[in-house]
Chain A
Amino acid sequence: MSGTHGTSATSGPTPDPVPPEVTRSTGQPGENPEGVAAVARLARRLLGDEDSVITERSRLRTYECDGLAHYRVTPALVVIPETTDQVAAIIGACAEHRVPYVARGSGTGLSGGALPRADGVLIVTSRMRRVREVRRADQRAVVEPGVINLDVTRAATPEGYYYAPDPSSQQICSIGGNLAENSGGAHCLKYGFTTNHVVGAELVTPDGEVVELGGLAPDAPGYDLLGTVVGSEGTLGLVTAATVRLVRAPEQVRTVLAGFGSTDEAGAATSAIIAAGIVPAAIEMMDALAIEAAEAAVHCNYPQGAGAVLVVELDGAAVEVEHEYAGVERLCRDNGAFELRVATDAAERALIWKGRKSAFAAVGRISPDYIVQDGVIPRTALPEVLRAIADLSRESGVRVANVFHAGDGNLHPLVLFDDSVEGAGEAAEKVSGAILDLCIGHGGSITGEHGVGIDKAAYMPKMFGDDDLDTMQLVRCAFDPEGISNPGKVFPTPRLCGEVPGRRKGAHPLQEAGLGEVF
């Protein structure tokens, strides 16, 4: 299984179990009960009340899944600490008793990265939500992992600053989760990802030690462990505080909505904009089916009859924005845009973004079930890949709506199906998998921002060779030799540390695909 599953109002879902191939990654209930009990005892001593140390079954079950509700595992224990020391003590106890743990922020991840272990502890950071400092003079803020992404911006706004990474779930996703997943967002085209905005972290290592990585100053001496930890999906430790870069709020923002006859035209316009040396804050595309869904859900009033729309956002100094806007307008029209709308104030911007940002949930209105993919391709391959997806869709009879970050080639195809129809789920899975293969075949990635988690671990060998994965495993073994920090995620076959990796025979998968010697 892969991709984010959703369901809509028209039919109740049949909750699928965790697929058998995943179960070895999630542990068995009742394993190591003494260890879990020992951690629970310590947690009670530290945290006190029953609202912070959860063992009651109906409560535990509410933590069974994150934003990818398709996978569900009841944790053996849930703890909700409030301080770094508490986290360190709990993880120390986990290490001592060899109890696996999984960190969870707001539980909005779309790859099952926070899927609990049946034999382990779920450490929830939602009560570690202090914005410790906003340091305008340093353009930095220090925040705890449970702080909501948007709350960092809210805290910085009075100073004229904001926190740039803006995943679609920014109103609820936590900074800790953002660090784990190296979250992106619509505006990372210009501003980069979480990893480009985190300059320091207080890390509790899988043996319960607290380590400071980076900080207010850049370029800490030694290996860039911070850069390694960000995006490691909770497998290298748990971050209990992050120092983040704040970005000056732009002087001007202009959002343009352009309607095109086809995705080919919209794709060509995107390429033309980039080729002209313009780096918009965001370029987002939706195809006809995605537009239909958004219209059904939020009546966003996108251009009538559009085969595709582009949302282009420009920001920066006023003169530049005006100039770039003129360029964007011209290039859109040159490439077939039949309607252009410009938002100049916050309300008009919100209206344009509404359709785009609601698109995922909105698709539920035109299909009972769907899978969201997160593949990435080189931007120039966009028209070709979209045509290939259309072919896949036609051949299989499975509808695919396309919503994506066109500027950086991050596709979010929504594969639609009706689970109540025999075989529909399997057909959708097949199309979904084929789309990932397309991405890999074009030299892209299986995930641009949702992470590998439990969901795409099986696809890692398609993108990386054994040696690549073994080398990543070396990092894992340095941080977490016992393999207790979010085990079973990211990598398809967890290897015990100390094992000698087998020498790979034969060609690298990409070599076989004819993509050069080493990518």
Chain B
Amino acid sequence: MSERLDETARKALDSACSHVAEAGDADAVDGVGASLVARPADTAEAAEVLRAASGHGLAVVPRGRGTKMTWGRPPRRVDVVLDLSAMDQVVDHAAGDLIVEAQAGTTLADVQAVVAQAGQRLAIDETVPGASVGGTLATATSGPGRVAFGTARDLLIGVTVVRADGVVARAGGRVVKNVAGYDLGKLVIGSFGTLAVLTQAVFRLHPLPAARRFVSVPVADPAAAHAATQAVIHAQVVPAAVEVDWPSEGTGTLTVELQGIPEGVSGRTTTTLGLLGGEASADDDPPPGWASYPWSLEARGDARDTALKLTFAISGLPDVLSAARSVDVPLTLRGSAGAGVVYGSVPAEADDTALSAALDRLREVCARHGGSVVVLDAAAGVKQALDTWGPVPGLDLMRRVKEQFDPDHRLAPARFVGGI
């Protein structure tokens, strides 16, 4: 693989970064082999790597902890994997200001461990174990907590990025309230590394709750799930999460998480139990699978489940749940009924044609409710056969943004929407 890189390019990278290694099989990005792995120690070194790559026309794919390297579409080319795992420091935790600043390669778990010492948390669910700050932002993952705290875009207040040409830029800042300049952080979140490499991020924090309770109720049909969701979101129980579990067949479950002080949680638990009817029950622990995606994390290569993200207006829930049962592939859904985002999993062995039809059907239903369906991950053959990103409004504008930031299309080329 590495033969593709000429000697001058290699030399340039070697002098740009103290840790440059030959790429191995494990460094392939969604099946596309890489030549080199550069592991910068800090933003400056990352900038040098990108500058060198820019000088030699090398394609670069950033990597945090490598937990979602198969998400999106396979890149067109990978010359350099920019491995940010050495940038793993929580740079600053200003507890009194409720902010934390971390390098991109820091795991979410490490960030949580640091801020928890002051009774605080970064309100982003670790939906993929071991994920880094950078990777979480690049893929915009979210979990149950989005009902109460929003997603990464609502918590990120400052970014440092390195552009494709190696220029280091920042936007936002270290204060929660700030409207000076464009919010580049928003642009980078969910961009799959195609615009710039995020090297450092500042987040706002929340206090850790003193108590948590989970109220679950079986939901026999989509209408029941809808009724339960609506009852909870319009009530005064201030849910932290409203999750639905919708297996490919049989009864589903709706779970409401309540957070706060023990007295308050206890009262709201009682109210929620009342809203959800006799079959509801409360627990101190989350149900199995909480804050995780419904697909297998162990499977590799062609054994991978097809991983979907479905979005819809909240009232579209019953139609989406019904559609899930109407398709000819086994489809398990799990996600935030209270936010209009559920994740779906179809087993790897499902029939390609049926899967394609299912995707069309789900897209039609979600689109009717203002949303979309994205195939986040799937076996190579499946990805090849499907329009994984689906229709993307505003794509032309997005291409223009890409053109400005990465005119040579060297950052994670083709991983993103519309071949960006």
**In the complex, which residues of chain A have a beta carbon less than 8 angstroms from the beta carbon of B301?**
none
Question: B183 and A221: CB pair below 8 A?
Answer: no
Report which of B96, B173, B237 forms a contact with A445, defined as CB distance below 8 A: B173
Whether, in the assembled complex, A441 has its beta carbon less than 8 Å from a beta carbon of chain B, the answer is no
**In the complex, which residues of chain B have a beta carbon less than 8 angstroms from the beta carbon of A137?**
230, 314-315
**Whole-angstrom distance between the Cβ of B334 and the nearest chain A Cβ:** 16
Question: B315 and A409: CB pair below 8 A?
Answer: no
**In the complex, which residues of chain B have a beta carbon less than 8 angstroms from the beta carbon of A196?**
150, 154
Question: B371 and A518: CB pair below 8 A?
Answer: no
Scoring A residues 111 to 153 as 1 if CB is less than 8 Å from chain B, else 0, what string do you get?
Answer: 0000000000000000000000001111110000000000000
Question: B168 and A518: CB pair below 8 A?
Answer: yes
**In the complex, which residues of chain A have a beta carbon less than 8 angstroms from the beta carbon of B99?**
378
Report which of A192, A320, A470 forms a contact with B150, defined as CB distance below 8 A: A192
**Whole-angstrom distance between the Cβ of A191 and the nearest chain B Cβ:** 10
Given A211-B393, A408-B176, A319-B184 contact (CB < 8 Å): no
The interface centre, meaning the residue of B179, B316, B404 with most chain A CB atoms within 10 A of its CB, is B179
Complex: chain B residue closest to A200, CB-CB: B370
Question: A223 and B401: CB pair below 8 A?
Answer: yes
The interface centre, meaning the residue of A188, A219, A447 with most chain B CB atoms within 10 A of its CB, is A219
**In the complex, which residues of chain A have a beta carbon less than 8 angstroms from the beta carbon of B418?**
222
Interface size counted on chain A using CB atoms at 8 A: 96
Question: B417 and A475: CB pair below 8 A?
Answer: no
Question: B234 and A224: CB pair below 8 A?
Answer: no
Complex: chain A residue closest to B173, CB-CB: A445
Question: B173 and A228: CB pair below 8 A?
Answer: no
Complex: chain A residue closest to B98, CB-CB: A274
**In the complex, which residues of chain A have a beta carbon less than 8 angstroms from the beta carbon of B230?**
137
Question: A248 and B393: CB pair below 8 A?
Answer: no
Question: A519 and B170: CB pair below 8 A?
Answer: yes
Whether, in the assembled complex, B181 has its beta carbon less than 8 Å from a beta carbon of chain A, the answer is yes
Seen from chain A, the residues whose Cβ lies within 8 Å of a Cβ on chain B are 135-140, 160, 181-182, 184, 188, 192-193, 195-196, 200, 205, 209, 211-213, 215-228, 230-232, 248, 250-251, 271, 274-275, 277-279, 316-320, 323, 376-380, 405, 408-410, 443-452, 456, 460, 463-465, 467-472, 474-479, 490, 501, 503, 516-519
Given contacts A231-B182, A409-B175, A518-B200, 15 further A-B contacts (CB under 8 A): A137-B230, A139-B314, A182-B179, A216-B313, A217-B312, A218-B341, A220-B311, A222-B417, A224-B153, A225-B401, A232-B182, A319-B263, A323-B264, A463-B173, A464-B171
Between-chain CB contacts (< 8 Å), 10 pairs: A137-B315, A220-B393, A227-B153, A317-B267, A379-B97, A408-B177, A468-B169, A472-B171, A478-B401, A479-B400
Seen from chain B, the residues whose Cβ lies within 8 Å of a Cβ on chain A are 42-44, 91, 94-99, 119, 140, 142, 146, 150-151, 153-154, 158, 160-161, 163, 167-171, 173-184, 186-187, 189-191, 195-196, 199-200, 202, 206-208, 210, 230, 233-234, 236-238, 260-261, 263-264, 267-268, 309, 311-316, 339-341, 366, 369-372, 374, 389-390, 392-398, 400-401, 403-405, 416-418
